[in-house]
Each structure stands twice: as C-alpha cells, then as structure tokens.
Amino acid sequence: NIINNFCSGLIVLFERPIRVGDVIQMGDTEGVVERIGIRASFIRTIHGSEVIVPNAKLISDQVTNWTFSNRLRAIEIPVSVAAGTDPQTIVDLWTEAATKHPLVTAAPQPQALMTKFGADLIGFELRAYTNRFSEWVNIRSDLAVAMHDALTARKIPLR
C-alpha cells in the first residue's frame, strides 16, 4: 500500500489531474484540495473537516473535479406553479431575478425554462452560473428567495 500510494502520489504530482485549490468529489465527500503529499492528499469539506485520501484512491477511484478546466458551476432550481399562470411572466421574472444577482455570471446568460405542463401545474427551471464556487450554495439560496418573492408579490401559487 505504501509503494502504491507513493507511486500514485507521483502520478498526481506530475499528471496533475487535481491541483491544490480544486474542488473535488469522491463518493459522498466533496471539498477543496488543501495539500497534495507523496502518500496522501488532504481535502477540506464544506463542514470544515479534513479528509485524508490515500493518493492511490485519487488514481483508481472515480473523482469528479468540479474546477479542473473552469470554475463555473451551474445552479438549477426547479419549481412548479399553478396551471393557468402565464409562462412568459415566470420566465421574465426569474430571468430578471438571476440577472440582478451580482455573483451570477453574464455569460452563460441565466435562463428560465418551461420544462413541463399539465392540467394542474406548469414546471419551470431556472438555470444560472457562477464562478464563485465556494459561494454556490448561498447564491442558490438567494435566487430561490428572489424567485419566491417574485411569485408571492404577484400572488402566483406554487404546486
């Protein structure tokens, strides 16, 4: 195991599939790469704990590197409203709300899309992007509150 982790550490250091500062996910663990050592790497989770990952796992297991080629992160918020609501009103309200948020990128541009409709509901999804990866959860929350406020102000019921 020691030799395997050492060789894997060399691969990680030279091939650079992950770098210090990258946000990675392995199974249920997601966090920022704090340090890459010869035997193991250190990942700081969103909760502040440090996970020590043997380098062999970084080479042999599936690793999602959220920031490998760029720092954009998609924000997707699905919501359904009552049937009979004007779809264009929802699209305009939510696109405007996302465009006004200072941490949502202008390119790619935020979009509100109608995703389904039925007898009792119309489904929509807001899609926006941010390059502030560590603040993604807060930005998503801000957008959800803005979407809720826009619906409440116009007395549009959720489904």
81 in Cβ contact with 157 (< 8 Å): yes
Residue 142 confidence (pLDDT) above 90: yes
The pTM assigned to this predicted structure is: 0.73
Q: What pLDDT sits at residue 78? A: 97
Q: What pLDDT sits at residue 1? A: 78
10-49 tens-digit pLDDT: 887 788 889 999 999 999 899 999 999 888 999 999 889 9
Q: What pLDDT sits at residue 122? A: 96
74-106 tens-digit pLDDT: 999 999 999 999 999 999 999 999 999 999 999
What does the DSSP assignment read for 20-73?
Answer: TT-EEEETTEEEEEEEE-SSEEEEEETTS-EEEEEHHHHHHS--EETTSS---E
Q: What pLDDT sits at residue 63? A: 94
| 37's tokens | 């050592």
